[in-house]
Chains A and B, each alone.
Chain A
Amino acid sequence: MAPRATNPNFMNGVPELLVLRLLGQEEMYGYELVQAIHSRSGAVIAIGEGVVYPVLHALEREGALKSRRKTVQGRSRIYYSLTSQGSRRLADLSGAWMNLTAAIQTVLRGGQNGSAIL
């Protein structure tokens, strides 16, 4: 059985951005979050499912997320949600990401900055 393909290149900072964005909409536990990343990215973004937890733990430690244990259908789960600090971080990261993607698209289309950068 082949593992689900992952795309590690160009992924620096992407899981963090996606986690913040999705948890900004609703609180989720790890499995839900991974499913949400998979489905809402149209299965384009695929990460090793387990590696989302260190990202979650790091963001929680930095104060961008908070967690609470909740028992659902007899199973105890750790739900994560965004803090106000996390919202600010999401805004910063989103802005930086938009600028970056706009710049890359400009280069790829051979726009006015393209020759200067290349």
Chain B
Amino acid sequence: MGVLFSELRERLLRAGVAPRHVRRYLCELADHLADVAAEEERAGRGRAEAESAALLRLGAMDDLAKAMIEQRQFQSWTARAPWAAFGLAPLFFLATAWLAAFFILWSGWRIFLPGADTPFGGPNYGFANLYFQVGRAFYFGAPILIGWGIGVLAARQRRQPGWPILGAIPIALLAVTAQVRTSRTAVPGGLLGHVNLRFAFGSSAQPLSVGLYHTLLVFLLMVVIMLQPYFIWGSRRKFFAKLTLLGLFTGAAFRARPGS
């Protein structure tokens, strides 16, 4: 039974059915199976025979999978529009997080350091410090968290590694080339302060080749870190699938609700 549900879950997820629909389908199938088995037992069959009869009545694996896969409205966004789910959405989230970070930096500068030429190297104590650290966390944490999000999404929905890698690359590239500058004089009326974001390979103080080399190294490291959840999740799933095949989880579907 555990093998049946495990296999069905994998087939549905690989076909692009959204995990929440898969979970609900499997839960209802498990309940149905229990009801049919109980009915068969009441009819005088032994437990094992009743369970076999219940499985036959439930339907063939192909039919159960096909019935759900044919309902296109249950497809996840990663299956319907992977370019949007792995390409555009992460960029949007990164832009939003960085916008929030820049607002915190700019507003903190205005509130806590009204006379300073730059908010960098500002107060390292009290609430002001905490305020700036929140902005810093947004700025540095967003690419990693978004990368992990891409990995978890892809692993959960059984996407091939191509899409999460393609999704992680622009985020990592933006993260390693982004440079934040602040100035009070760069724009007219600069008394308000000006936060500027630009993208470059390394700093102007080092040769381009060194900058490129450093950027490439950090970029590769970043991509590897971002994709950790994808590969860890995948290995974990394969491990549990093997245990299920070995029969260690047989019968679990009757006792526990199948998860995803």
A58 contacts B31, CB within 8 Å? no
Which residues in B have their C-beta under 8 angstroms from that of A51? 59, 63-64, 67
Indicate whether B73 reaches chain A with its CB closer than 8 angstroms. yes
Residues in A whose Cβ lies below 8 Å from that of B49 = 1
A110 at interface by CB-CB < 8 Å:
no
Q: Is the beta-carbon distance between B56 and A31 smaller than 8 angstroms? A: no
CB B90 to nearest CB in A, in angstroms, measures: 27
| B29 pairs with A53, CB closer than 8 A | yes
**Chain A residues whose CB sits within 8 angstroms of the CB of B57 once the complex forms:** 3-4, 48-49
Interface size range of chain A in the complex: 20 to 34
B21 CB contacts on chain A under 8 angstroms: 57
Verify B36–A49 contact, CB threshold 8 A. yes
Query: When A53-B29, A57-B74, A78-B28 are in contact, do A48 and B60 touch as well, CB less than 8 Å?
Result: yes
Q: Which of A3, A50, A54, A62 contacts B32 (CB 8 A)?
A: A50
Inter-chain contact A50/B67, CB cutoff 8 Å: yes
A75 at the interface (CB under 8 A from B): yes
Interface check A30, CB cutoff 8 A: yes
Task: Scan residues 46-64 of chain A and give those whose CB is less than 8 A from a CB of chain B.
Answer: 48-51, 53-55, 57-58, 61-62
Report the Cα distance A1→B70, complex, angstroms.
29
Instruction: Tell me the interface secondary structure of chain B in the complex.
Output: helix
A50 to B28, CA, bound (A): 9
Closest to A34 in B: B32
Q: Which residue of the partner chain A has the closest CB to B68?
A: A54
Q: CB-CB < 8 A to A29: which residues of B?
A: 31
Q: Contact mask B94-129 → A, CB, 8 Å, 1/0?
A: 000000000000000000000000000000000000
Q: Contact partner of A30 among B32, B59, B60, B70, CB < 8 A?
A: B32
A53 touches B28 (CB 8 A): yes
Tell me if B32 and A31 are in contact (CB < 8 A). Answer: yes
Q: Does A77 contact B (CB under 8 A)?
A: yes
Q: Which residues of B sit under 8 angstroms from A1, Cβ to Cβ?
A: 49, 52-53, 56
Residues of B7-25 contacting chain A, CB below 8 A: 21, 24-25
Task: Please give me the residue from chain A that is nearest to B8 by CB atom.
Answer: A50
A48 touches B58 (CB 8 A): yes
Complex: how many Å from CA A58 to CA B36? 23
Are the CB atoms of B36 and A54 closer together than 8 Å? no
A57 touches which of B24, B32, B36, B53 (Cβ 8 Å): B24
> Contact: A53 with B25, CB < 8 Å?
yes
Across the interface, do A30 and B58 meet the contact criterion of CB distance under 8 Å?
no
What are the residues of chain A within 8 A of B67 when measuring CB–CB? 48, 50-51, 53-55
Residues of chain B with a CB closer than 8 A to A54's CB: 25, 67-68, 70-71, 74
A-B contact pairs, 30 of them (CB 8 A): A1-B52, A2-B56, A4-B57, A29-B31, A30-B28, A30-B31, A31-B36, A34-B32, A48-B59, A49-B32, A49-B36, A50-B29, A50-B32, A50-B59, A51-B64, A51-B67, A53-B29, A53-B68, A54-B25, A54-B67, A54-B74, A57-B21, A57-B25, A57-B71, A58-B71, A58-B73, A61-B74, A62-B73, A75-B31, A78-B28
Query: Nearest 4 pairs between A and B by C-beta?
Result: A48-B59, A51-B67, A3-B56, A31-B35
